[in-house]
Amino acid sequence: MTTIMLAAMDATIVSTAIPHIVGDLGGFSLFSWVFSIYLLAQTVTIPIYGKLADLYGRKPILLFGISLFLIGSAASAFSWDMLSLIVFRGIQGLGAGSIMANVNTLAGDLFSIQERAKIQGWLSSVWGMAAITGPALGGAFAEYISWRWIFLINIPIGIIALIFLILFLKENVVRKKHQLDIPGAIMMLLTGGILIYTFMEGGQSFEWFSQTGIGLVSLSFVLILLTILVERRSPEPILPKWVWKNRTLVGANLAVIAMGAMMLGPNMYLPVFSQSVYGLGAIASGFVLASISIGWPISSSLSGRLYLRIGFRKTGSIGILALILFSLTFSILPAQTPIWIIVLNHILLGAGFGLLSTSTMVGIQSTVPWEKRGVVTSSNMFSRYLGQSIGAAALASVFNSSMDKHISNSPKELANQLPEVNDVIDVMQSPSSNEAVISYLQEGFYLSTGKVYLGMAFLAVLAFLFLRLQPKKITVFKEEKSVSNPSQSIE
């Protein structure tokens, strides 16, 4: 949990300090890469760390990842311009990939199938606490001390995590010679980097049907084929063929891709919706978004009782049905619905995420032995972050097209006063904007955010269909210490 705190806090604490960072370092046009490079480096390395953990044990790979993360944190704190900060954030991301791959794998190693839901709830609660405290802490550091402390605060937390792991994590790894899949690792880094960059920047830095967009999509497709060819020839591939032949694993990972895409809807638009439509401040809107983090860990903790009774697939399906229901509910709520209803809706939405994420993670971990658990766990985490990249592009397209249509259909008296989609927020926050323009843009923001949640409901339907690829009965690996009957299947 202490290790997860590093990655969780870093995902939230930077956002509120960006104005101060830009004011100090300059480079406003590059600031989005402070976030993008971190996500990119973290995501593409997750499968590689998962494979290395299966070969050499979780402990050395996790200790390496934490150390790399701390080096990146210290370097970020002493950045001298925006470009150097981006490079050091990339180093942080390389360390975070190990953290995300190995902490969840250790949860499968150390705890029984009955206990894992509770542990996943504990881990999820760290993300919940970070969602609430991160933005406030980042803003406080930037305002009263220095933005550099948002990175330096990682150092004592990371040292505590290292001490705990060195002293108390015991592993019995069978030492034998392995043939590292270096060509496969290079191809996966290159392919993953190009693919995720394409999804992250498509529709924003370049149009999808532009020369750049078509070129990057084509390059991604070619690299995927080349990576498959390289991996087929490797004696110890990073993503072995059995990963793609296992129905339980394929169904879970495809569902998690859709879930990851859904997660970007609230993350991108709920805080701005709260500020633009309800007039809430930055901190209050952050608390509205954090309501998802209330339902998530609670449902994760309780899901164990459910999947042991009705099975992993049915538990995940209940979570998906909750996601469909509460995404649709938000999309049809009337304007200026009391804010407590918005909060309650997102608590229940978070509960759906918790049921789906925990049942899929624990389900796939329970079907394989120790030496394969790193691969299956990292493939699931990679799928979630790949989904987030896809969701950022897809849901942004939904919002922008809806807002653009609303502006195009404006009354004649407002037509010359309305901005382009990219300038909507600036106009709404400008004291010189007249009330009629602000009111019309608020209406557009309300309608367009509703369309985003309709898109989320569609993604949830896809997740439901993907999860049906799993067999009704998932056979638990015979050496699971929690299973009294070695041949037990969980329906």
Integer Cα distance of 167 and 162 in angstroms: 9
Task: Give first-to-last CA distance, the chain, whole Å.
Answer: 31
Q: Could you tell me if 426 and 458 lie in one domain?
A: yes
pLDDT (0 to 100) of residue 162:
95
Task: For residue 182, report the phi and psi dihedrals to the nearest 5 degrees.
Answer: -65, -45
pLDDT (0 to 100) of residue 65:
94
- Mean pLDDT, range 41-56, rounded to an integer: 87
Integer Cα distance of 206 and 211 in angstroms: 9
- The model's confidence at residue 176, banded by pLDDT at 50, 70 and 90, is low
- Mean pLDDT, range 318-323, rounded to an integer: 95
pLDDT (0 to 100) of residue 484:
34
Q: Could you tell me if 86 and 99 lie in one domain?
A: yes
pLDDT (0 to 100) of residue 481:
47
- The model's confidence at residue 179, banded by pLDDT at 50, 70 and 90, is low
Integer Cα distance of 491 and 474 in angstroms: 6
pLDDT tens per residue, range 448-463: 889 999 999 999 999 9
Q: Please, is 126 exposed, middle or buried when counting C-beta atoms within 10 Å of its C-beta (0-12, 13-18, 19+)?
A: buried
Q: What is the 3-state secondary structure (H, E, C) of the chain?
A: CHHHHHHHHHHHHCHHHHHHHHHHHCCHHHCHHHHHHHHHHHHHHHHHHHHHHHHHCHHHHHHHHHHHHHHHHHHHHCCCCHHHHHHHHHHHHHHHHHHHHHHHHHHHHHCCCCCHHHHHHHHHHHHHHHHHHHHHHHHHHHHHHCCCHHHHCHHHHHHHHHHHHHHHCCCCCCCCCCCCCHHHHHHHHHHHHHHHHHHHHECCCECCCCHHHHHHHHHHHHHHHHHHHHHHHCCCCCCCHHHHHCHHHHHHHHHHHHHHHHHHHHHHHHHHHHHHHHCCCHHHHHHHHHCHHHHHHHHHHHHHHHHHHHCHHHHHHHHHHHHHHHHHHHHHCCCCCCHHHHHHHHHHHHHHHHHHHHHHHHHHHCCCCHHHHHHHHHHHHHHHHHHHHHHHHHHHHHHHHHHHHHHHCCCCCCCCCCCCHHHHHHHHHCCCCCHHHHHHHHHHHHHHHHHHHHHHHHHHHHHHHHHCCCCCCEECCCCCCCCCCCCCEEC
pLDDT (0 to 100) of residue 421:
66
pTM of the model: 0.84
Domain end among 178, 197, 213 = 178
Domain with residue 334: its CATH number is 1.20.1250.20
Q: Could you tell me if 267 and 144 lie in one domain?
A: no
Q: Pick the range with the lowest mean pLDDT from 113-117, 206-210, 396-400.
A: 206-210
Q: Could you tell me if 125 and 194 lie in one domain?
A: no
pLDDT tens per residue, range 115-152: 888 888 888 888 878 877 777 787 778 778 888 888 99
pLDDT tens per residue, range 480-489: 544 333 334 5
pLDDT (0 to 100) of residue 211:
85
Domain end among 217, 235, 253 = 235
Calculate the average pLDDT of the chain: 83
**Owner of token pair 């999509």:** 217
Highest mean pLDDT among 134-143, 194-203, 437-446: 437-446
Q: Could you tell me if 99 and 186 lie in one domain?
A: no
pLDDT (0 to 100) of residue 479:
55
Q: Could you tell me if 258 and 188 lie in one domain?
A: no
pLDDT (0 to 100) of residue 62:
93
Q: Could you tell me if 42 and 162 lie in one domain?
A: yes
- Domain span at residue 205 reads 179-235
Which is nearest to 93 in space by CA: 244, 16, 196?
196
- Mean pLDDT, range 406-410, rounded to an integer: 79
Q: Could you tell me if 335 and 481 lie in one domain?
A: yes
Q: Could you tell me if 170 and 271 lie in one domain?
A: no
Q: Could you tell me if 336 and 201 lie in one domain?
A: no
Query: How many domains in the chain?
Result: 3
Q: Could you tell me if 187 and 63 lie in one domain?
A: no
**Does residue 478 register a pLDDT over 80?**
no
pLDDT (0 to 100) of residue 282:
66
pLDDT tens per residue, range 66-101: 999 999 999 999 998 888 998 999 999 999 999 988
Integer Cα distance of 95 and 312 in angstroms: 31
pLDDT (0 to 100) of residue 439:
82
pLDDT (0 to 100) of residue 491:
53
Work out the percent of the chain whose per-residue pLDDT is above 90.
Answer: 24
Considering only residues 475 and 364, tell me which one the structure prediction assigns the higher pLDDT. Answer: 364
Which is nearest to 356 in space by CA: 312, 396, 390, 395?
312
Residues in CB range of 386: below 8 A, 6 or more apart:
43, 195, 196, 199, 257, 260
Domain end among 178, 195, 210 = 178
Q: Could you tell me if 193 and 98 lie in one domain?
A: no
